[in-house]
Amino acid sequence: MFSLFKKKEFFSARDKAQIVEAIRLAERETSGEIRIYVESRNAYVDAIDRAAEIFFKLKMQETDHRNAVLLYIAMKDHELALFADEGIYQKVGAAYWDDAVKKMLSQFTKENISNGIEQCIAQIGQTLKEKFPYIPTEDKNELPDDIVFGK
């Protein structure tokens, strides 16, 4: 059976490629991991609760250093959240994540969503590099770099 409704693409192919490349660049100098999850609507009241659910569903808590970060976006609901594992969260604190969200939102209000995501990835990558630098003998890419799209 075929669908008469075409699923709306949130990003162009070029935007997707640039976001994935931003993740790869950010992770190149750290043991940390960054993932992006995008869906149309958030069925939950609080975006951070939804981000936490997805974080654990994607098994992001299983990284060796507990330093994975999920960027969650519900496009139609205009919601976003950053959810960080305990290793990196404890090293930078809540104010850091609040600031990262505010910076990204300032880009989103300019209708520049993919650029806002890339800047957030770069900021998080720099912090991960400082707190969890790359160790050539130990580090590996523990999680996929692709964007995960929900419903």
Q: What is the mean pLDDT of each run of 10 residues along the chain (151 residues)?
A: 56 94 95 96 89 97 95 91 94 90 80 87 95 88 94 80
How far apart CA 5 and CA 120 sit, in angstroms, is: 32
Q: What pLDDT does residue 112 have?
A: 76
| Token code pair at residue 37 | 């999850």
- Please report, for the chain, the start and end positions of each structural domain, with discontinuous segments joined by +: 13-149
> Do residues 67 and 33 lie in contact, with contact meaning Cβ atoms separated by under 8 Å?
yes
Task: Count the neighbouring beta carbons within 10 Å of the beta carbon of residue 109.
Answer: 11
Give the architecture-level CATH label for domain 13-149: Roll (3.10)
- CA 44, 51, 8, 18: dihedral to nearest 10 degrees? 160
Q: What pLDDT does residue 8 have?
A: 62
Which H, E and C letters describe 27-75, residue by residue? Answer: HCCECCEEEEEEECCCCCCCHHHHHHHHHHHCCHHHCCCCCEEEEEEEC
Quickly tell me which residue has 């590996």 as its tokens.
Answer: 140
